[in-house]
A = this chain, B = another copy of it.
Amino acid sequence: MSVRTPDPDPDWLPKGDTGVPNSNPAWLKDVELAEIRRRLPILYIEAVPVRVDGLGQVVEVGVLLRARPTGEMTRTLVSGRVMYGETLRDALFRHLEKDLGPMAFPQMPVSPIPFTVAEYFPLPGITAFTDDRQHAVSLAYVVPVTGTCDPRQDALEITWMTPEEAVSPGVSAEMEGGRGALLRAAMASVGLLR
């Protein structure tokens, strides 16, 4: 199974852009993006949303349920492209809001250092991760959310699980693009992989 990360927010504009059509060279037509995707690795950010207790210990992990165009249901994480001119923080916040809604109130990481770097290739076997559309390199973060998550776009719902459930073989088998391995690395980074 390969990943189907949603395409970036079409409303997004880099700082200082006027929004006048065609005025923004960073804006990519679908056909152009498809072309570039066969030529360059594409930079992504990913987030594992979690709920924490008063001591910062992860108690629940949020996994998104998504309907694919084929009607198949798959599970995934918060994920999306970094745009031209956009900082990693801006991209991470934008995708958290896009996937979890405006009331999730994420506690953004203070450090830009990811807990892992996931490499997605069209061909399986090179790493644990695949994406049939592109070569993507993703910086992954664990992000506590303190508000109410209300998935938007094509994410149907967010399922909250215990750390144990999140790394179970059943959930892993449903994760897009090999992201079960990303969940396990996330839980290892917070000291909760047993």
Contacts and interface: CB of A to CB of B under 8 A. Distances in A.
A98 to B, nearest CB: 15
Contact of A127 (B25, B87, B119, B139): B87
A115 B113 contact: yes
Q: How large is the interface on A (under 10, 10 to 19, 20 to 34, 35 or more residues)?
A: 35 or more
Contacts of A190: 110-112
Nearest to A105: B54
Given A110-B144, A184-B184, 13 more contacts: A28-B40, A41-B86, A54-B93, A55-B87, A56-B89, A110-B142, A111-B142, A113-B115, A113-B117, A113-B189, A178-B194, A184-B193, A188-B188
A12 interface: no
Contacts of A191: 111-112, 116-117, 127-128, 185
A110 B188 contact: no
B39 A108 contact: no
A184 B186 CA distance: 12
Interface string A73-114: 000000000111111111001000000000000011111111
Contacts of A58: 110
A173 interface: no
A190 B180 CA distance: 16
A116 B188 contact: yes
Contact of A57 (B50, B89, B115, B137): B89
A192 to B, nearest CB: 8
A58 B126 CA distance: 14
Contacts of A1: none
6 contacts: A26-B38, A110-B190, A116-B189, A117-B191, A184-B188, A185-B189
A96 B107 CA distance: 18
A180 B194 CA distance: 7
